[in-house]
Amino acid sequence: MLQIPKKLETRRSHKVIQFFLMRSESWSKENRAFSIYWSTSHMITTAQVMRLLATMRGLDPDICAIAGAMHDVATMETGRAVDHAARSIDFIKPLLHEYNEANEKYKITDDEIALLSKIIPQHSNKNEFTDNPYVEILKDADALDRYLQGVEAKEAEMPRLLRVLFDLGIDAEFGLRYNYI
């Protein structure tokens, strides 16, 4: 019989989400590409989707949830979505160091910060596939969460989205019913 932990380790990812929710109080509500409500909702739900996919794929669910929570950090911090994946590199290390200073018990290690700094800037290139399972899971989770949030998938994202739905046991019949394939 498959042995699974009775409880997933989520304290650090919950602390990171809490850190960003507290930061959101100071974000300008003016001239945002997405509302603060949408940004914070997407942050939380992408973290959960990452946890789910990580348990399916044998990856660290907590670090995946942190990546999901932070993947739109440039948009969250500036309100601008243009090139947000590439611009995220300007925010990841400083914000995680600030987080670490306030959360001695639940620190993100330097190796994990390096991993997050590598994968988050690549998440917008949904039509490109890599050999890095952490890059791929973030792209998959973002595509799936945006879809579940009611954002229309771009044509280039459809193969990825359909593959993730299939991995979750949602087969092509779903796509046929809604004229996606």
DSSP 3-state helix, strand, coil percentages of the chain (rounded to 5)?
A: 65, 0, 35
| pLDDT of the residue at 176 | 53
What average pLDDT does this structure show over 103-110? 96
- Token representation of residue 120: 């988050």
| pLDDT of the residue at 8 | 84
Domains of the chain: 11-177 (1.10.3210)
Instruction: Please write the tens of the pLDDT for every residue from 16-62.
Output: 999 999 998 888 888 888 888 888 999 999 999 999 999 999 999 99
How many Å apart are CA 178 and CA 181, to the nearest integer?
8
Is residue 140's pLDDT more than 60? yes
What average pLDDT does this structure show over 160-175? 81
8, 55 contact by CB (below 8 A):
yes
| pLDDT of the residue at 36 | 85
92, 116 contact by CB (below 8 A):
yes
Q: Lowest mean pLDDT: which of 13-17, 60-64, 73-77, 134-138?
A: 73-77
Nearest CA among 38, 78, 60, 157 for reference residue 116: 60
32, 45 contact by CB (below 8 A):
no
Kindly state the percentage of the chain with pLDDT values over 90: 61
- Mean pLDDT (the chain) is 90
127: confidence class by pLDDT, cuts 50, 70, 90: confident
Q: What are the angstrom distances between the C-alpha of 153 and each of 27, 96, 126, 140, 142?
A: 27, 30, 11, 12, 11
How many Å apart are CA 37 and CA 171, to the nearest integer?
31
136: confidence class by pLDDT, cuts 50, 70, 90: very high
